[in-house]
Amino acid sequence: MFAAFLKALEERSEQGDEIYLYCLDDGVREIQALLPRVGPRLRLFGCAYAGLRRSLPRVTEVTYGGLGLLADLILGTSEFMAF
């Protein structure tokens, strides 16, 4: 599943789409792997609660927030995809 997600991420990035990626639940474990992809067209967000529950360190390049942040991201997009 993660490989399919990375492929879709790469394709959308090549098309010039702006991507807002919110990692939640076990997805927060992949933040370190996604950091090299962060740039002007890819912004990375993490679930603060999920990171705390998994005792993961905060990454300064990532914006952490809760479900309110996720809701704002969903409402501000033209297309929403979940993996």
**Does residue 8 lie in a domain region?**
no
Entry pTM = 0.89
Q: Which residue range forms the structural domain that includes residue 55? A: 17-75
**Does residue 51 lie in a domain region?**
yes
State how many domains the chain has.
1
Given this model, what pLDDT does residue 81 score? 87
**Does residue 33 lie in a domain region?**
yes
**Does residue 3 lie in a domain region?**
no
Residues 57, 59, 63: CA angle, nearest 5 degrees = 120
**Does residue 44 lie in a domain region?**
yes
Given this model, what pLDDT does residue 7 score? 92
**Does residue 62 lie in a domain region?**
yes
**44: Cβ–Cβ under 8 A, 6 or more apart, which residues?**
21, 23, 31, 34, 35, 37, 38, 61, 62, 63
**Does residue 82 lie in a domain region?**
no
Per-residue pLDDT of the chain (83 residues), as tens digits, is 788 988 998 999 999 999 999 999 999 999 999 999 999 999 999 999 999 999 999 999 999 999 999 999 999 998 888 88
